[in-house]
């Protein structure tokens, strides 16, 4: 099989998997396994495990869920509303400082 044939089959598998409603991550995994199968690579399991471990073992994206969790805690505890109320009180007596915070406060509905 030529490279063009394999690429065409893999693109068709990707669109079929996405069209059936499969998640993007699982669709890409299916395309990767199909590609290993199409080129007759006997080490596809070891290669996939190495790539998966290499992408999970680093701490680059670890702060993202922590920031989301921190925002959720601030929102649910009411602390963010208290902070914006305090800014509203301080900024109202501060002359020109008061003109900078009302847009975000109104955008957030606080």
Task: Return the pLDDT at 23.
Answer: 94
For residue 80, count CB atoms less than 10 angstroms from its CB and return exposed for 0-12, middle for 13-18, buried for 19 or more. middle
pLDDT of residue 91: 63
Other CB atoms closer than 10 Å to residue 52's CB: what's the count? 11
pLDDT at 85: 78
Whether the model clears a pTM of 0.75, i.e. scores above it, the answer is: no
Q: Quote the CA–CA distance of 101 and 6 in Å, as a whole number.
A: 56
DSSP 8-state class, residue 22: -
- Give the pLDDT confidence score for residue 94 in this predicted structure: 53
Q: pLDDT, tens digit, for every residue of 19-30?
A: 999 999 999 989
Taking residues 16-42, report their average pLDDT.
90
Mean pLDDT: which of 1-5, 22-26, 42-46 is highest?
A: 22-26
Domain edges within the chain: 3-56, 63-108
Q: Strands (DSSP E) along the chain, which ranges?
A: none
């Amino acid at each position: 099989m030529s490279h063009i044939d394999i690429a065409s089959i893999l693109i068709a598998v990707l669109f079929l998997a996405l069209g059936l409603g499969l998640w993007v991550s699982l669709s890409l995994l299916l395309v990767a396994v199909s590609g290993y199968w199409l080129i007759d690579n006997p080490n596809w399991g070891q290669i996939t495990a190495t790539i998966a471990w290499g992408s999970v073992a680093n701490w680059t994206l670890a702060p993202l869920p922590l920031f989301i969790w921190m925002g959720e805690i601030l929102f649910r505890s009411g602390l963010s509303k208290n902070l914006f109320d305090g800014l509203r009180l301080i900024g109202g007596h501060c002359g020109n400082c008061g003109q900078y915070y009302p847009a975000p406060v109104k955008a957030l509905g606080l």
